[in-house]
Amino acid sequence: MRIVSVVGARPEFIQVAPLCWAVAAPELAGEVEHVLVHTGQHYDRLMSDVFFRSLCLPEPGVMLGAGSGSHGAQTGAILAAIEPVLLDLAPDWVVVFGDTNSTIAGALAAVKLHLPVAHVEAGLRSFNRAMPEEINRILTDHAADVLFTPTDGASARLAVEGLGHRVRQVGDIKTEVTYVVRDQVRDQAPVLPDGVTPDERYYLATLHRAENTDDPDRLAAWLEAMAGLDAPVALLVHPRLRDHCARWGLDLHRGALRPAEPLDYPEMVRAVMGSAGVVTDSGGLQKEAFLLGVPCTTVRTETEWTETVDLGWNALCPKPSDLAGAVCRPVPPPSDAAPYGRGDTARRILDVLRGEPRPS
Ligand code: UD1
């Protein structure tokens, strides 16, 4: 059978990795042809290429080169570019991941061509319709034929939306990558910005969501709050953050802030493992911190990964003035709860795709 996975933004390169590894397993030799279609939403070396190298992903079979743009322009460019590719490849399944503009464009193009679509990481909701990702994930869930959910909560939400019959709960695909990579990097030294040494206490931070970075006053307030923390802050700078700071004259070199380029995935996992805490507005990083036993402070009003909060490892901090207090809260007791599965998600996805009758 032929599976096309649509990827384009940084989190999708991580999500697709276990599927690439599972397809290459000897017992499936020759049975599954897996083609990666890279939309080009992320194109910088540090946002794309390094992930293919560090996670041993195969070269994309097709590069669409859509690039940046407004949401409509970017989603539309991917939609137009991917349609002839899907027609040509005629896959048995089109697999999309998460909630990016590449996700919704890939799902929409495929479903309109009557190609079966599977959505990995289905059923997550922030209930914040101002987030572009929330719109993408709702529409993708309703377009897809099979919904691979990571958690009980995600499956239950889809049932409420009338989609329970399409749900296959398989655990969280990123958990699988995190565990594999954790075991590979455990004995390596972390890659840290100038001014941060591995044997001192440090925080690891990222900030890229539109709600935090598109308004100069709010962005300035977050940078000021991070700069005032009680230990060095290794701030991994996303292109959106870099561009907006340059445009508004906001200095990233101040106080506790130690800015650096984004890391590849193994470097990121290792840097989280060595940190005293994570400060982020990323969805994936909140969960990775939990899986790696590091407390996280999420600089948003809500999270899709509510289990991390319920279990005490994640705290929501929507106000910059509350950040210093939030990062210093006591560390919760260790937990062996596994709300995201045990790391066998890709294998379970392939079992479903290989056994599932094509939707009529
Ligand atoms: C996208 C996803 C978000 C995910 C994030 C991970 C959507 C709606 N959002 O947000 O869910 O958490 O990826 O990074 O799809 N840019 C570059 N080089 C690149 C990529 C982006 O310079 O390789 C700059 C461009 O100026 C671009 C901006 O970053 O306009 C934002 O990129 P975009 O992919 O549109 O959204 P992200 O903020 O990365």
- Nearest atom within ligand 1 for CA of residue 41: 34
Is 208 one of the annotated active-site residues of the chain? yes
Mean pLDDT of 105-117: 98
**CB of residue 157 inside a 6 A radius of ligand 1:** no
Q: Per residue in 292-331, pLDDT tens?
A: 999 999 999 999 999 999 999 999 999 999 999 999 999 8
3-class secondary structure, 235: strand
Q: What pLDDT score does 310 carry?
A: 95
pLDDT of 357 above 70: no
Nearest to 51 by CA among 36, 66, 32: 36
Q: What pLDDT score does 84 carry?
A: 98
pLDDT of 265 above 80: yes
CB neighbours of residue 109 within 10 Å? 25
Q: What's the rounded Cα separation, in Å, for the pair 183 and 161?
A: 38
Nearest to 18 by CA among 173, 183, 170: 173
Q: What pLDDT score does 359 carry?
A: 58
By mean pLDDT, which of 21-35, 53-67, 151-165, 286-300 is the weakest? 21-35
pLDDT of 336 above 90: no
pLDDT band of residue 360 (cuts 50, 70, 90) is low
pLDDT band of residue 227 (cuts 50, 70, 90) is very high
What is the pTM assigned to this prediction?
Answer: 0.95
Catalytic residue among 34, 38, 42, 208: 208
pLDDT band of residue 333 (cuts 50, 70, 90) is confident
Q: What's the rounded Cα separation, in Å, for the pair 263 and 260?
A: 8
Q: Per residue in 8-33, pLDDT tens?
A: 999 999 999 999 999 999 988 889 99
Mean pLDDT of 212-217: 97
Q: Whose CA is nearest to atom 20 of ligand 1?
A: 42
CB neighbours of residue 301 within 10 Å? 12
Q: What's the rounded Cα separation, in Å, for the pair 182 and 217?
A: 37
Q: Per residue in 187-206, pLDDT tens?
A: 999 999 999 999 999 999 99
**CB of residue 10 inside a 6 A radius of ligand 1:** yes
